[in-house]
Chains A and B, each alone.
Chain A
Amino acid sequence: MMEKWEDNRAWYLVLPVFVVVAFSAIIPLMTVVNYSIQDIFGPGNAVFVGTEWYEEMLTDKRLHDALWRQFIFSGLVLLIEIPLGILIALAMPKKGWGVSASLVTLAIPLLIPWNVIGTIWIIFTRPDIGLFGVWINSLDLLQVPFDHTARPLYAWITLMAMEVWHWTPLVALLCYAGLRAIPEAYYQAARIDGASAWAVFRYIQLPKMRGVLTIAVLLRWMDSFLIYAEPFALTGGGPGNTTTFLSIYLVKLATGQFDLGPAAAFSLIYFLIVLLFCFIFYQALLNVGRGEKIS
Chain B
Amino acid sequence: MRVRKRTLALAAYFFLLVLPIYWMLNMSLRSNADILSTFSLYPVDITFNNYIKIFTDSGWYMGYVNAIIYVTINTVISLACALPAAYAFSRYRFLGDGQMFFWLLTNRMAPPAVFLLPYFQLYSTFNLIDTHIAVALAHCLFNVPLAVWILEGFMSGVPKEIDETAFIDGYSFPRFFITIFIPLIRAGVGVTAFFCFMFSWVELLFARTLTVTQAKPIVATMTRTISATGLDWGLLAANGILTIVPGALVIWFVRNHLAKGFALGRV
> Which positions in A face B, CB cutoff 8 Å?
1-11, 13-14, 16-18, 20-21, 23-25, 27-29, 31-32, 35, 87-88, 90-93, 100, 102-116, 119-121, 123-124, 128-131, 134, 165, 169-170, 173-174, 176-178, 180, 197, 212, 215, 219, 222, 225-226, 228-229, 232-233, 246-247, 250-251, 254-255, 260, 263-264, 267-268, 270-271, 274-275, 277-279, 281-282, 285
- Expressed in whole angstroms, the minimum distance between the Cβ of B65 and any Cβ of chain A is 15
Residue in contact with B17 in the complex, picked from A13, A32, A109, CB distance below 8 Å: A109
Residue in contact with A285 in the complex, picked from B23, B258, B266, CB distance below 8 Å: B266
B44 within 8 A of A: no
Chain A contacts for B233, CB-based, 8 A? 123, 129
The reply to whether A103 and B259 contact each other, CB–CB distance below 8 Å, is yes
Additional 19 contacts, C-beta under 8 A, given A124-B24, A226-B113:
A6-B93, A14-B89, A21-B107, A31-B121, A107-B251, A110-B198, A111-B198, A111-B244, A112-B240, A112-B243, A116-B222, A119-B240, A120-B20, A134-B39, A165-B16, A251-B205, A267-B113, A271-B110, A274-B109
The reply to whether B27 and A105 contact each other, CB–CB distance below 8 Å, is no
Chain A contacts for B202, CB-based, 8 A? 111-114
Interface string of B14-36 (1 = CB under 8 A from A): 10111111011001000000011
A156, B67: Cα distance in complex, Å? 31
8 closest pairs, A vs B, by CB? A111-B247, A28-B118, A10-B92, A177-B263, A31-B118, A13-B88, A177-B259, A10-B88
B236 within 8 A of A: yes
Residue in contact with B255 in the complex, picked from A100, A115, A129, A176, CB distance below 8 Å: A100
Interface string of B217-240 (1 = CB under 8 A from A): 011001100100000010011011
Chain A contacts for B80, CB-based, 8 A? 16
The reply to whether B247 and A8 contact each other, CB–CB distance below 8 Å, is no
The reply to whether B263 and A174 contact each other, CB–CB distance below 8 Å, is yes
The residue in chain B whose Cβ has the minimal distance to the Cβ of A130 is B23
Question: Which of B14, B106, B218, B256 is packed against the most chain A CB atoms within 10 Å?
Answer: B106
A90, B13: Cα distance in complex, Å? 13
The residue in chain A whose Cβ has the minimal distance to the Cβ of B225 is A119
State the interface size on chain B (CB cutoff 8 A): 97
The reply to whether A105 and B14 contact each other, CB–CB distance below 8 Å, is yes
A138, B149: Cα distance in complex, Å? 49
Give the interface segment out of B45-53, B54-62, B135-143: B135-143
The residue in chain A whose Cβ has the minimal distance to the Cβ of B100 is A14
Chain B contacts for A169, CB-based, 8 A? 17
A198, B255: Cα distance in complex, Å? 30
The residue in chain A whose Cβ has the minimal distance to the Cβ of B28 is A123
Q: Within residues 183 to 241 of chain B, which ones have a CB less than 8 A from any CB in chain A?
A: 198, 201-205, 209, 218-219, 222-223, 226, 233, 236-237, 239-240
Residue in contact with B248 in the complex, picked from A13, A14, A111, CB distance below 8 Å: A111
The reply to whether A104 and B244 contact each other, CB–CB distance below 8 Å, is no
A134, B250: Cα distance in complex, Å? 35
The reply to whether A278 and B205 contact each other, CB–CB distance below 8 Å, is no
Interface string of B134-160 (1 = CB under 8 A from A): 000110110011001000000010011
> Which positions in B face A, CB cutoff 8 Å?
2, 6-7, 9-10, 13-14, 16-21, 23-24, 27, 35-36, 39, 41, 77, 80-82, 84-85, 87-89, 91-95, 97, 100, 102, 104-107, 109-119, 121-122, 137-138, 140-141, 144-145, 148, 156, 159-160, 198, 201-205, 209, 218-219, 222-223, 226, 233, 236-237, 239-240, 243-244, 247-248, 250-252, 255-256, 258-260, 262-263, 266-267
Chain A contacts for B223, CB-based, 8 A? 115, 233
The reply to whether A116 and B258 contact each other, CB–CB distance below 8 Å, is no
The residue in chain B whose Cβ has the minimal distance to the Cβ of A33 is B118
The reply to whether B140 and A21 contact each other, CB–CB distance below 8 Å, is yes
A282, B104: Cα distance in complex, Å? 11
Question: Which of A13, A113, A134, A178 is packed against the most chain B CB atoms within 10 Å?
Answer: A113
The reply to whether B263 and A212 contact each other, CB–CB distance below 8 Å, is yes
A interface, over-half SS: helix
A109, B17: Cα distance in complex, Å? 8
The reply to whether B87 and A263 contact each other, CB–CB distance below 8 Å, is no
The reply to whether A121 and B106 contact each other, CB–CB distance below 8 Å, is no
Given A31-B122, A180-B259, also A115-B244 (CB < 8 A): no
The reply to whether B109 and A277 contact each other, CB–CB distance below 8 Å, is yes
Chain A contacts for B77, CB-based, 8 A? 20
The reply to whether A28 and B119 contact each other, CB–CB distance below 8 Å, is yes
The reply to whether B27 and A123 contact each other, CB–CB distance below 8 Å, is yes
The reply to whether B85 and A271 contact each other, CB–CB distance below 8 Å, is no
